[in-house]
Structure 1
């Protein structure tokens, strides 16, 4: 967990307040542990590397991790943090550029608009995931409504993932105010 602590400290030093919360980190570590040797984990929105650190801590030997951050300063800081870890690569660029490093066994769509919302575009599971691959999408407010609602309106972004024809998906509450959607690509 030294890597998670180092990434959390880096985020504090950089005054970056949008890092993965601990509950989400534990989930990422658990999901990374299910990726087979030779597999690939992708992450959009590296930030200062907190989520990537959780993924790295959970990934078995022989798993490659690739993350992308659009902010050059944060990307450089995260690259320095993971320097020396030959299985981890941090790129600078738009979230869409991550696709060339897939398809993924596990894909974490992190940060606002990084492949998970209508205004930024969606990562298409059939193009980004291997058959049986898993996508985890964070930063949802828990809901028990169907269709899911946010701020009194139908939450079309969440509904798209939960009702996607290429996924078996569900919402999981991680905290009273935090939920994620997890989906597995159908064969």
Structure 2
């Protein structure tokens, strides 16, 4: 049985129509998605790539540089350009003032959201890894968005510590959150949404966007939305692809809270 590198070479030779970026996900993506930060230096290399190739304050340039790095050098857990466009459109439709992101990673989606949201809006992005949060803050600052985008180390399911920080330091409270982007641990999608609902932070008209609902999948979250369709939620399922390739299908769910 060939190792992953040998198998990749065989498949590239025998299946020329299969895009190599999709194959990279098949071979390496599951491990990356399990471990979060893979610890092989790719996140630090990404930061160095951005600093070396983009002018400070060029938000569009930072996004392009991250996309280029993810396609050409190392697989990243970014929402990517195809699904990123769906995220951009959802933010613009919502015209939110207060936004919450679950899963910062290196700050790519936070930068996309920051670019798309209204000028006076503010985003708080939550990341469990302190190392990733440090890199994300550096990239967000370089993109010129520090005054409107904050990165908080923590997680929703930590016995209320992160919730208290959001309430005390960022003024989250009943009915204050207009937009949520969920792109972290897939088995935490539904529990974290339920915690946010229980806190009362959403209001009728709040929008929740969830990535990777098909691949690697969040079936419980999708079922929750289906069961409440037209009653407490109204959901649009966007058919798309796993980031940085066009072979593996994925779903992005855009859900409006009806109250």
Q: Shorter-chain-normalised TM-score: which range?
A: 0.7 to 0.9
Partner of 1:178: 250
Question: Residue 167 of structure 1 aligns with which residue?
Answer: 233
Deviation at 1:123, TM superposition (A): 1.2
CA-based RMSD of the aligned residues comes to: 2.9
User: Secondary structure in 2 aligned to 1:61?
Assistant: coil
1:132 maps to 2:205: yes
- Are 2:174 and 1:108 aligned? no
Distance 2:148 2:81 in 1: 23
One of 92, 95, 101 as aligned partner of 1:43: 101
Corresponding residue number in structure 2 for 1:26: 85
Distance in structure 1 (CA, Å) of the matches to 2:226 and 2:124: 25
**Residue segments in structure 2 that go unaligned for 5+ positions in a row:** 1-59, 242-247
Q: 1:5 to 1:53 in 2, by over 3 A?
A: same
Q: Which protein has the larger Cα radius of gyration, Structure 1 or Structure 2? A: 2
* Count of residue pairs the alignment pairs up: 172
Unaligned runs of at least 5 residues, structure 1: 143-149
**Residues in 2 aligned to 1:178 and 1:170: alpha-carbon distance in whole angstroms:** 14
Q: How far apart, in 2, do the equivalents of 1:69 and 1:9 lie?
A: 23
2:192 aligned partner = 122
What is the distance in 1 between the residues matched to 2:117 and 2:67?
19
Q: CA deviation at 1:87?
A: 0.8
More helix by proportion, 1 or 2?
2
- Could you tell me how far apart the structure 2 residues matched to 1:49 and 1:65 are? 12
TM-score of the superposed pair, with normalisation by structure 2: 0.58
Runs of 4+ deviating beyond 4 Å: 6-12
